[in-house]
Structure 1
């Protein structure tokens, strides 16, 4: 989940960086749920990227650019929250394991 959030943040940053480029098509990362479903189904192979990206199907600006800064900023903030949650769950899981084996902190 933390890797997915990092990849989402990277894609949003790339989209924002190209917000003024004529003809640039914004991309997004598949949802984490879609990734889990694909991984559970075993449909991924060695040539598949870990997280798939695809172009967004949204209206273009007059110069052909499809980046929406408001949406990208929201997605970046959402990815940050997802990353923080994943790290929190990881940290708490490690704390539980340490407690279970008798080591504290």
Structure 2
């Protein structure tokens, strides 16, 4: 009954997305002085989640029903971020990357809050505290 709770899958996906986006932000900051480096970002979790759930032609009802390669959610699409370039052709804005980093932290905290809240609801429904 409690094996496939979608809320936990969604919270896990939100956390993985935040981690992946933080990695991209860190790479952008690390390459802030690299000539011709183009700043990158990852599509929002909402867009990624909708794209994953829009393909409802196959649905796994038990383990092994759908091949694992078809359920790969860890690959996020990198996008170039628009912005003015410096004289050496670099498009990284440190202020913008720091703002993205704060936003990513908020997204990760939200994923943890969803997970904790769901765990509390599940424990309460089972009569445990």
| TM > 0.5 | yes
Which among 78, 81, 98 is matched to residue 103 of structure 2? 78
TM-score normalised to the size of structure 2?
0.73
Q: Identify unmatched segments of 5+ residues in structure 2.
A: 1-13, 57-68
Distance in structure 2 (CA, Å) of the matches to 1:49 and 1:22: 29
Which among 42, 47, 68 is matched to residue 34 of structure 1? 47
Deviates more, 1:1-10 or 1:64-73: 1-10
TM-score normalised to the size of structure 1?
0.88
Hey, what does 1:7 align to over in structure 2? 20
The aligned length equals 103
Distance in structure 2 (CA, Å) of the matches to 1:51 and 1:95: 30
Aligned CA-pair RMSD: 1.9
- The answer on 1:23 being equivalent to 2:42 is no
Determine helix, strand or coil for the equivalent of 1:82.
Answer: helix
1:36: Cα distance to partner? 1.5
- Based on CA coordinates, which of the two structures has the bigger radius of gyration? 2
Hey, what does 1:60 align to over in structure 2? 85
C-alpha contact 2:83 2:91 (8 A) present in aligned 1: yes
Distance 1:75 1:55, change over 3 A: same
